[in-house]
Structure 1
Amino acid sequence: MLKLHRLAYSTLAIGLLAACSSTSSAIPEAPSTVGASYVQASSTKALQPGEKVANLFQLNMKTPYVLQRLTDRTYWYESGFYATIFYVGDQGVLLFDPLEQRAEPILESIRSVTDKPITAIVYSHDHADHLAATGPLLEMLKTTQSQAPEIIASQATAEKMQLLDSHLPRPTKVIPWPDGKFKFENLDVELHGFEHAAHTDDHAAWLLVNERVLHAPDLLNADQPPFWNFAGSERFTFLVDNLNTANALDWDYFNGGHGNVGSHADFAFHLKFISDLKAAVGKAMGEVPFGYGVDPDKINAHTVMLPTWYDEIAKRATDALRPTYGDYYGFETATPANAEMMAEYLYSYR
């Protein structure tokens, strides 16, 4: 069911991109959660640490893709609200996560800055919305380069793909879990697998050491409050620990697979938001008695009681956070689901 949700979200994003007109929106973009300094997207001028791409929502809605240079060799790509990175070496290109339905624009963006072959692809984790363009991309590359890219993944991802009989192209190089590393030309890449992961069991952060770039899709959406179910996490339980682990690494630029280019300030914002949400949900749980909103004379199964209880708790917690966070990107649509997830966590672990 979770992967179906992701597929629907990805398809919706592409549909929105195709359907939007070229006229400018009358609604201003949401304010920055971290007081960011915004600059116009540029594939030639490197982003300074802490800067973010301006007008990103409208760019996602109305342009084929956004390409932003991060360093001399690393580039950030986003289209339809999905983002990834690639690194241009001396001989070839290292691409992370060929995003679903985006093989052609990703290749176009790479070709806009280099004609070097794509010699390696990295899978960050086994969720199809971040990997499903691999097959189409490999087919496209057959006409332009003599050798197929190496496909690199962690041991946890490779084993999960095997267990679930994944239809996606399998890794040709497997990195030891949880703290393996590999070298791409002169670039050191470190795997930092989460010992107990929130998003999915093979979730990890990939550090481009020399470039000071961290790639961890679905860990957080930079410059936004947490997305629905904390970026589609399969569980909330270990998220704070995962955020702290990634934040403690040595980097300047962060790609979370969605949202803007991230910084350590985005991690601080998310940790504060989660702390405030936990307090609001805990307070609501103390105020709302179990069975609230259910007429016992009108039911013949108890199963309605828990979701009704969570729903009321989420409404109250969302109301409590609205004065502080209500103007931020997606607050109204994402926070109730996050509050329900938090309520389940607090109810289960005491």
Structure 2
Amino acid sequence: MSDRLTRRGMLAFGAAAGLGATALAGSAYAQTTTPAPKFLPLPLEAKPRPVPAEGYILDRIGDAMYAVTAGGNQTPFVVTRTGVVLIDAPPSLATVLPSAIRRVTDKPVTHVIYSHSHADHIAGAAAFGDVFRIAHEETARTIRVARDPNRPMPTVTFRDRYRLNVGGQHFELSYPGVNHEAGNIIIHVPQQRAAVMMDVVIPGWAPFLNWGTADSVPGILTAHDGLAKLPIETFVGGHIHRLGTPRDIKDSRDFSYDLWHTTQRAVAETRIGDYFAQVEPGHQWGAFKLHYQAIADRVEPEMIQRWGDKLAGVDIWTRDNATTIAVSLLLDAPRNVQ
């Protein structure tokens, strides 16, 4: 684990993942005496919002859509004439989500749309019983292998596009290809002028470590392209403190492309042969380690200079994400990224 992830960082991550401070306090990491590192201050738009006494924030989107945010996680739902369509069911919101739904309607949850298979987003789905569940076929495949009873199998799956009509509300589900995860979809709710895509754009923030174990970094860029074309006013990204806007999508897209191109240039300017000369003959891993460190040394200060006061966390994961891109350039070798 990086020495940048201090006790305070662990507690913050634990809250985002739905873990209590008590659980973390007993860990070996909680006993560290390492001084807290100095991070760049959060830009104004990345700071947390006050949380009401209920313990969660309930945002209204359009005339029938809402989003629940608590502990760094968020998920939306839409109230239709016949029932509630829930988009994901994070286990960290297991207590507050039913309460938030009851605040605005007495209608039952009849449908759950799975954004993708990750447990932090859908491992609360079983609590809603035998509802109609929709997911991409890759998400269904992953859930089947995981054999997690908290993530029930979807009722129906799709490959490219799926249009869901429930009680006068329309949902356009589309798959831009492998991105954060195989099966991670875009959910467009045109009547509410809103879109949902989890773990790709985090409004106000630079990407998390490796975009949350991204299956495809080029696919992350493609997903940004798809989101940027939607005629929306509100975006739900699944994490941190607030909802997003088209400007947040643009900022995230611009940052991600900038990081890609800056890393691409650094790779071209950093000869790997120089690092093989610094290690024992045949020590491939050592040479690559030094090579990627040198690439990150070039990329990180540039990105902090351009973005450090615009997006939160640019100083946290940029080195790691530059390395991820460098590996992607070598292995994925995409020709469709401009």
TM-score, with length taken from structure 1: 0.77
- Tell me how far 1:216 sits from its aligned partner: 0.9
Aligned-partner residue type, residue 128 of structure 2:
L
Q: Is the contact between residue 17 and residue 61 of structure 1 (CA under 8 Å) also seen in structure 2?
A: no
Aligned to 1:185: 167
2:110 to 102, 119, 141: 119
Match of 2:123 in 1: 132
User: 2 CA distance for matches of 1:85 and 1:79?
Assistant: 12
CA positional deviation for 1:125: 0.9
Q: How does 1:309-328 map to 2 (within 5 A)?
A: 309-327=291-309, 328=311
Structure 1 equivalent of residue 29 of structure 2: none
* Root mean square deviation, CA, Å: 3.1
Deviation at 1:287, TM superposition (A): 3.6
Please report how far the alpha carbon of residue 176 of structure 1 lies from its aligned counterpart in structure 2 after TM superposition: 2.5
The answer to whether the Cα contact below 8 Å between 1:179 and 1:190 also exists between their aligned partners in 2 is yes
Give the counterpart letter for 2:195 in structure 1. L
Which of 338, 347, 350 matches 2:321?
Answer: 338
Deviates further, 102-111 or 154-163: 154-163
Shift of 1:163: 4.2
**Residues 179-224 of structure 1: CA distance to partner in whole angstroms, max 9, x if unpaired?**
1111111111111112x32211111101112222111111211122
Find out whether 1:203 has 2:156 as its counterpart.
no
| Partner Cα separation in structure 1 for residue 291 and residue 57 of structure 2 | 42
- Alpha-carbon distance in structure 1 between the residues aligned to 2:91 and 2:284: 40
Instruction: Give the AA of the match of 1:330.
Output: G
Match of 1:103 in 2: 94
The structure-2 alpha-carbon separation of the partners of 1:239 and 1:105, relative to structure 1 and needing over 3 Å to count, comes to: same
For 1:217, the equivalent position in structure 2 comes to 198
Q: Which residue of 1 aligns with 2:227?
A: 246
Are the counterparts in 2 of residues 255 and 262 from structure 1 also a CA contact under 8 Å?
Answer: yes
Please list the CA deviations of residues 124-156 of structure 1 after superposition, one character each: whole Å capped at 9, or x if unmatched: 111111011123x237xxxxxxxx432222333
Cα deviation, residue 9, structure 1: 8.4
Judged with a 3 Å threshold, the aligned counterparts in structure 2 of structure 1 residues 265 and 168 are, in CA distance, closer, same or farther, namely same
Specify which of 156, 167, 176 is matched with residue 138 of structure 2.
Answer: 156
Match of 2:237 in 1: 256
Q: Write the distance in 1 (CA, Å) between the matches of 2:101 and 2:232.
A: 23
Residue of structure 1 in register with 2:266 after alignment:
284
Q: Matched residues in 2 for 1:89 and 1:233: separation?
A: 34
Amino acid corresponding to residue 341 of structure 1 in structure 2:
T
CA distance in 2: counterparts of 1:62 and 1:325, whole angstroms? 35
Q: Distance in 1 between matches of 2:257 and 2:87?
A: 31
When residues 180 and 81 of structure 1 are mapped into structure 2, their CA distance, relative to the original with a 3 A threshold, is same
In structure 2, what is the Cα distance between the partners aligned to 1:151 and 1:9?
31
5+ unaligned residues in a row in structure 2: which ranges? Answer: 1-10, 24-39
Give per-residue Cα distances to partners, 1:238-297, cap 9 Å, x unaligned.
222221122223322111112431222122212221232233223322343326567746
Q: Could you tell me which amino acid in structure 1 is paired with residue 136 of structure 2? A: S
Structure 1 residues not aligned, in runs of 5+: 1-7, 20-26, 33-54, 140-147
Count of residues in correspondence between the two structures? 305
Structure 2 counterpart of 1:347, which letter?
A: L
CA distance in 2, matches of 1:57, 1:179: 35
Q: Verify the 8 A CA contact 2:180 2:216 in the aligned structure 1.
A: yes
CA shift at 1:113, angstroms?
2.0
Partner of 2:32: none
Q: If the length of structure 2 is used for normalisation, what is the TM-score?
A: 0.79
- Partners of 1:268 and 1:66 lie apart in 2 by 25
Separation of aligned partners in 1, 2:213 and 2:276: 29
Q: Percent identity of the aligned residues?
A: 23
Query: What's the offset of the Cα at 1:298?
Result: 5.8
Q: CA deviation at 1:233?
A: 1.6
Letter in 2 for 1:302: Q
The answer to whether the 8 A contact 1:153-1:175 is kept is: yes
Q: Does 1:273 pair with 2:286?
A: no
Counterpart-to-counterpart distance in 1, 2:277 and 2:53: 48
1:115 offset after TM fit, Å? 2.2
CA distance in 2, matches of 1:61, 1:280: 42
Partner residue of 1:70 out of 58, 61, 64: 61
Aligned to 1:48: none
Structure 2 equivalent of residue 167 of structure 1? 149
- Corresponding residue of 2:208: 227
Q: Helix, strand or coil for the counterpart of 1:68? A: strand
1:15 to partner: Cα distance: 4.2
